[in-house]
Amino acid sequence: MAKYSSFRMRLLSVGCMVGLSAALAACSSDPTLYTLSPISGAAQGGGPVVVEVRTPVVPLRLDRDTIVRQNRDYQTKLATGDSWSEALPDMIAQTLTTDLAQRLPGTAVVSQGDAVTTTPTAYVEVTIRNFEADSVGRAYITGAVSVHPAQKMIGPVLTESFAWQSPESSQRDTGKLVASLSQGLSALADHAASRLRSLPPSSR
């Protein structure tokens, strides 16, 4: 009986060590980092001289390290083990800035906080409400975009709702979800570029 107990204790000890090693490995493993990417679109001349993209307003439920996969059944579903490579508002701003710069040749497009000395002649402001997948896995972005001249009392402030949805489901694939959200920001850049070109000449 004593030999059996001793053997059993050794097995338990080995099992605990294996379990502890696995737990430590799981805790020390780095998350997979994802980055939004600019996507080229149709170039549109005649934009303002200098455009500043303000850092977007993003709700706290989305502004976190771990990527939000879905908001369903009153729950926020996270993509466990998958994180953004930097703060989401900053990454959206940088991606949108690059997209707009490509679409508006001849226009200097900068992000808020960039180390630049030029003075903006127009601003793009974005509020994000949804930046995730819907109930069937299709990426979607909703919010509002405001385009207006930098000078007060010159031209209207064009504030509009914005909604975009991907045609295909990401099927719980984080890489596909991030690629689709990049496409959505490309569509937002198309919309903002068109509105910037429609501002009064005095603001351009």
pLDDT tens digit sequence for 133-152: 998 999 999 999 999 998 87
- 16 CB-near residues (< 8 Å, 6+ apart): none
- Looking at residue 171, its pLDDT comes to 84
Least confident of 12-26, 63-77, 135-149: 12-26
Q: What is the pTM of this model?
A: 0.83
> For the residues 163-185, what does the mean pLDDT come to?
96
Identify the CATH assignment for 31-203 out of 3.40.50.150, 3.40.50.10610, 2.170.190.11, 3.40.50.300. Answer: 3.40.50.10610
Question: At 40, is the pLDDT very low, low, confident or very high (cuts 50, 70, 90)?
Answer: very high
- Looking at residue 25, its pLDDT comes to 44
- 191 CB-near residues (< 8 Å, 6+ apart): 145, 160, 162
More confident residue, 101 or 73: 101
Residue 203 has pLDDT above 70, yes or no: no
For residue 181, how far is the Cα from the chain centroid? 7
> For the residues 9-17, what does the mean pLDDT come to?
49
The 10 Å CB-count burial string (b at 16+, else e) for 74-103 is eeeeebeebbbeeebbbbbbbbbbbbbbbb
Output the CA angle 124-117-128, nearest 5 degrees: 20
Residue 74 has pLDDT above 90, yes or no: no
- Looking at residue 102, its pLDDT comes to 97
What is the rounded CA–CA span in Å between residue 155 and residue 90? 28
Nearest to 34 by CA among 66, 77, 78, 71: 66
Considering the chain, what is the average pLDDT of its residues? 86
- Looking at residue 157, its pLDDT comes to 72
Instruction: Locate the domains of the chain by residue range.
Output: 1-30, 31-203
